[in-house]
């Protein structure tokens, strides 16, 4: 870490999942010793990094329109370097270089530790592309476990890549196969964060519960729970197939493990699940949720859904709605199926019309919204432990999170940032709760 004042301005824009958020932070760490300090606008930046997402067509297209705007800024600012990182860089690096001459370099998710070298070389000749090989161990070996957290919560990547090959998904191609970081390195990073005031970590992985380090994810959670000051542990994203007994038991037994689980199912029709290569049925998913709820009755369940997968008929979609009714979600993300080049589903017959997808998405989202409001509404009158993270929009207000990951607003003094405080919940909306401090503080 550089102790000297930054001399160059770095702007990073992050798209996509939390793993990209983590990666962006680590890219900033890697660049700090070279004199780069973060700025929050691309105007006048010396280096602009777009950390991109390839998951749906829209996400990918955004990158190209953003690059169009950056090209104009670059024309005004001599010496601006533009780098494209992340999953689009991995998937279509050559196309980026071809379509947008303003781009100086492209770097895939497993190579960003080499950014300093790439930037130096790009200054000599444009067109460096570093993407193709997946070597997460090299990346993590090259990165220090020391970080400068920016708040009281932090993301911590423990696993990368995916071997599941759901037929709609690009992730196995953009991030490579499943790989787990050694537990010692993770613990060192978590301890460092806790020593700097981090109270909550979210362990990240494309399939985080496939974590294969000693003791699996459950073992890792138990180990991290012992770190002084680290009071809350979360993890995301999980696959139903990797939800083992040990992890379920951890939800019952480890108080630091928060009662919230993002467990995507994607669809409720077995025919569609089979075509998606999910390797589970609707029934097995529902039974799994029951088991988890038996271990931790108050757990908040969240999920991801895709509507309009090739071959999805009305009856299949109805099966998704009934699964949602049966499970009862605290929150969820839902998407129209997006045809991704190179994935098996892109070539499947029975592609669904846009209007049909639109209509199904609307119906599904109405139901999920209703469930989310109901889940939030059920907290009214309860007293919940809230970890305050930052000041709110109104003077004297703080914003924190409940154990169930709900945003909670309350009138409270700034010194409570970083504290876990009892808050009595008075009202709720779709996306947040409001309450008052339950204890008169001295």
Rounded CA-CA distance 261/203 in Å is 12
Rounded CA-CA distance 264/281 in Å is 12
Residue 165 interacting entry, from ligand F3S, ligand SAH, ligand SF4, none, C-beta within 5 to 8 Å by type: ligand SF4
CA–chain centroid gap for 346, Å, is 25
Of the pair 118, 272, the CB lying nearest ligand SF4 is at 272
Is 239 a binding residue for ligand SF4 by CB under 6 A? The answer is yes
**Alpha helices, DSSP H, located in 196-244:** 216-225
Least distance CB 338 / ligand SAH (angstroms): 4
Rounded CA-CA distance 304/287 in Å is 18
Instruction: Report yes or no: 65 and 99 within 8 Å, Cβ to Cβ.
Output: no
Of the pair 45, 87, the CB lying nearest ligand F3S is at 87
Give, rounded to a whole angstrom, the gap between the first and last alpha carbons of the chain: 39
What number of CA atoms fall less than 13 Å from residue 419's CA on the CB side? 13
Least distance CB 344 / ligand F3S (angstroms): 17
Is 331 a binding residue for ligand SF4 by CB under 6 A? The answer is no
Least distance CB 168 / ligand F3S (angstroms): 12
Q: Which residues of 122-131 are buried (b: 16+ CB within 10 A; e: fewer)?
A: beeeeebbbb
Count the site residues for ligand SAH by CB under 6 A: 18
Is 164 a binding residue for ligand SF4 by CB under 6 A? The answer is yes
- The strand pair at 47-52 and 81-85 is best described as parallel
In the block, residue with structure tokens 């680290």:
230
DSSP character for 126?
S
**338, 371, 376, 379: which one contacts ligand SAH (CB under 6 A)?**
338
Of the pair 54, 401, the CB lying nearest ligand SAH is at 54
What number of CA atoms fall less than 13 Å from residue 400's CA on the CB side? 31
DSSP character for 7?
-
Binding site for ligand F3S (CB under 6 A): 16-17, 19-20, 53-55, 86-87, 170-171, 174-175, 206
The contact pattern for ligand SF4, residues 187-216, with x = CB under 6 A and - = no contact, is -------------------xx---------
Residue 87 interacting entry, from ligand SF4, ligand SAH, ligand F3S, none, C-beta within 5 to 8 Å by type: ligand F3S
Cα torsion angle, 87, 91, 95, 97, sign: positive
**9, 26, 54, 56: which one contacts ligand SAH (CB under 6 A)?**
56
The contact pattern for ligand SAH, residues 340-359, with x = CB under 6 A and - = no contact, is x-------------------
Least distance CB 301 / ligand F3S (angstroms): 20
Instruction: Report yes or no: 416 and 271 within 8 Å, Cβ to Cβ.
Output: no
Residues 230-259 close enough to bind ligand SAH by CB under 6 A: 237, 239
Of the pair 172, 182, the CB lying nearest ligand SF4 is at 172
Cα angle 364-429-289, degrees, rounded to a multiple of 5: 50
Two tokens, residue 224: 């991290």
Footprint of ligand SF4 on this chain (CB under 6 A)?
A: 162, 164-166, 169, 171-172, 206-207, 239
Footprint of ligand SAH on this chain (CB under 6 A)?
A: 55-56, 162, 168-169, 171, 206-207, 237, 239, 264, 266, 304, 306, 335, 337-338, 340
């Amino acid at each position: 870490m550089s102790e000297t004042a930054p001399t160059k301005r770095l702007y990073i824009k992050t798209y996509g999942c939390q793993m990209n958020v983590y990666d962006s932070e680590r890219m900033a760490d890697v660049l700090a010793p070279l004199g780069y300090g973060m700025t929050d606008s691309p105007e006048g930046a010396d280096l602009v990094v777009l950390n991109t997402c390839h998951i749906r067509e829209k996400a990918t297209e955004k990158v190209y329109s953003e690059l169009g705007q950056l090209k104009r800024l670059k024309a005004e600012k001599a010496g601006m370097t533009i780098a494209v990182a992340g999953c689009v860089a991995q998937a279509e690096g050559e196309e980026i270089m071809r379509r947008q001459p303003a781009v100086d370099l492209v770097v895939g998710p497993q190579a960003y530790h080499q950014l300093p070298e790439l930037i130096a070389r790009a200054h000599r000749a444009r067109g460096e592309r570093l993407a193709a090989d997946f070597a997460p161990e090299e990346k993590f070996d090259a990165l220090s476990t020391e970080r400068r957290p920016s708040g009281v919560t932090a993301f911590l990547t423990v696993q990368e890549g995916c071997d599941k090959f759901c037929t709609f998904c690009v992730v196995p191609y953009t991030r490579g196969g499943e790989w787990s970081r050694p537990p010692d390195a993770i613990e060192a990073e978590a301890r460092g964060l806790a020593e700097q005031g981090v109270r909550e970590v979210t362990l990240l992985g494309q399939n985080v519960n496939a974590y294969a380090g000693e003791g699996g994810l459950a073992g890792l959670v138990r180990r991290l729970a012992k770190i002084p000051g680290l009071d809350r542990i979360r993890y995301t994203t999980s696959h139903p197939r990797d939800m083992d007994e040990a992890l379920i038991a951890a939800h019952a037994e480890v108080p630091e493990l928060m009662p919230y689980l993002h467990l995507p199912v994607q669809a409720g029709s077995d025919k569609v699940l089979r075509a998606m290569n999910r390797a589970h049925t609707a029934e097995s998913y529902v039974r799994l949720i029951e088991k988890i709820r038996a271990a931790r009755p108050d757990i908040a369940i969240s999920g991801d859904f895709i509507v309009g997968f090739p071959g999805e008929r009305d009856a299949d979609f109805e099966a998704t709605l009934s699964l949602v009714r049966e499970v009862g979600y605290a929150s969820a993300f839902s998407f129209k199926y997006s045809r991704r080049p190179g994935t098996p589903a892109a070539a499947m017959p029975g592609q669904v019309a846009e209007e049909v997808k639109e209509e199904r998405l609307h119906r599904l989202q109405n139901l999920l919204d209703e469930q989310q409001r109901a889940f939030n509404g059920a907290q009214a009158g309860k007293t919940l432990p809230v970890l305050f993270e930052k000041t709110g929009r109104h003077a004297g207000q703080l914003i924190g999170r409940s154990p169930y990951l709900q945003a909670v607003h309350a009138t409270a003094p700034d010194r409570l940032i970083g504290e876990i405080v009892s808050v009595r919940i008075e009202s709720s909306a779709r996306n947040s709760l409001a309450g008052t401090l339950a204890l008169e503080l001295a």
